[in-house]
């Protein structure tokens, strides 16, 4: 039987190498493409006839849009408007990847359960936000690391703390999503393993397999919530970082 971590394995489907770099098409790449197509289908389908009074599908697309637009407006203000497409893309991508990873039976691969993916996104955001900060405020952006109303004696220490906390942003952002996805999927697999071994044992134990099964049902609900919540958290933190860069607190 497959171990609980086997679901995270990346398997090469079409080996590819360009300039010494391995860019093979893997199951991860396939699921990213599925994520992309799902989002496109969702949006094109929802907007195929743009009705004044929207149907369910159109309403869902509009709700996603307005949810992110409102969140961005609330956190980053009107200056953040031009980064809306990026935040919207980010949210939709993570949300779709998380939810597609929850599809049972098909050995669904969760793209966001890989630190390489989450860290790449977080690092991109980190670099991008830092560049925006420097473009907007020039060298004055460094004042961001100096707390305004702190005693002078404490400043050196506080600046170090601020810098470390700033540098650790991409790590906390990526690990949060990664760890949540890994933990949830591992737990589901572990309980799934219990169900199988108990059922295989036969007799009274087979009847007892209903208990871990019930756990799986409950956990699946919880994981669906986590999938949406983590996409939201990732997007909202991105907005907060963006706001820091635009307005320096």
Partner 1 sequence: MPQLDPAVFIPQIFWLFVVFAALYIFIARSAAPKISEVLKRRQDTITDDLANAEKLQAKAEEARIAFEKSQEDARNNAAAIVLSKREELKAEADAEYQKLSDALSKKADEAQKRINEAKEKALGEVRNVAADVCADIVSQISGLKLDAKAVSKAVNAKTDDVLKGDG
| Chain contacts with partner 1 (rule: CB under 8 A) | 5-6, 8-10, 12, 21-26, 28-29, 32-33, 35-36, 39-40, 43-44, 47, 50, 52, 54, 58, 61-62, 65-66, 84-86, 88-89, 92-93, 111, 113-117, 120-121, 178, 182
If the CB atoms of residues 75 and 118 are measured against partner 1, the closer one turns out to be 118
Q: How far apart are CA 76 and CA 63, in angstroms?
A: 19
Rank residues 28 and 243 by Cβ distance to partner 1 and give the closer one: 28
Q: Residue 224 CB, nearest distance to partner 1 (Å)?
A: 22
Q: Which is nearer to partner 1, 25 or 218 (CB)?
A: 25
User: Both tokens of residue 54?
Assistant: 């929207």
Is 178 or 234 the residue whose CB approaches partner 1 more closely? 178
Sign of CA dihedral 31, 33, 34, 38: positive
Find the shortest distance in angstroms from Cβ 98 to partner 1. 15
User: Cβ of residue 213: shortest distance to partner 1, in angstroms?
Assistant: 26
Q: Which DSSP helix (H) or strand (E) runs through 62? A: helix 56-76
Q: 3-state SS of 157-195? A: HHHHHHHHHHHCHHHHHHHHHHHHHHHHHHHHHHHHHHH
Residues 46 and 58 sit within 8 Å (Cβ to Cβ): yes
Cα dihedral across residues 64, 100, 36, 181: positive or negative:
positive
Of 89 and 197, which CB lies nearer to partner 1 in the complex structure?
A: 89
Contact present, 13 and 27 (Cβ < 8 Å): yes
CB of 220 to partner 1, least distance (A): 22
The answer to whether 112 and 92 have CB atoms below 8 angstroms apart is: no
Cα–Cα distance measured from residue 190 to residue 180, given in angstroms and rounded to the nearest whole number: 15
Q: How far is the CB of 106 from partner 1 (least distance, A)?
A: 19
């Amino acid at each position: 039987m497959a171990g609980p971590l086997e679901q995270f394995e990346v398997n090469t489907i079409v080996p590819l190498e360009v300039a010494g770099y391995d860019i093979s098409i893997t199951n991860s790449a396939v699921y990213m493409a599925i994520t992309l197509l799902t989002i496109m289908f969702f949006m094109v389908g929802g907007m195929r006839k743009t009705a004044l009074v929207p149907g369910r599908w159109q309403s869902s697309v509009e709700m996603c849009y307005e949810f992110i637009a409102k969140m961005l407006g609330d956190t980053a203000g009107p200056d953040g408007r031009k980064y809306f497409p990026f935040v919207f893309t980010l949210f939709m991508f993570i949300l779709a990847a998380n939810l597609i990873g929850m599809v049972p039976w098909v050995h669904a691969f969760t793209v966001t359960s890989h630190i390489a993916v989450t860290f790449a996104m977080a690092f991109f955001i980190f670099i991008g936000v830092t560049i925006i900060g420097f473009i907007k405020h020039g060298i004055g952006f460094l004042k961001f690391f100096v707390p305004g109303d702190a005693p002078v004696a404490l400043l050196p220490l506080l600046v170090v703390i601020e810098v470390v906390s700033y540098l650790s942003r991409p790590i906390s952002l990526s690990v949060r999503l990664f760890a949540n996805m890994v933990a949830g999927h591992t737990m589901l697999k572990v309980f799934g393993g219990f169900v199988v071994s108990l059922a295989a044992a036969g007799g009274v134990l087979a009847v007892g397999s209903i208990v871990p099964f019930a756990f799986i049902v409950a956990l699946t609900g919880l994981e669906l919530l986590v999938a949406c919540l983590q996409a939201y958290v990732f997007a909202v933190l991105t907005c907060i970082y963006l706001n820091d860069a635009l307005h320096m607190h």
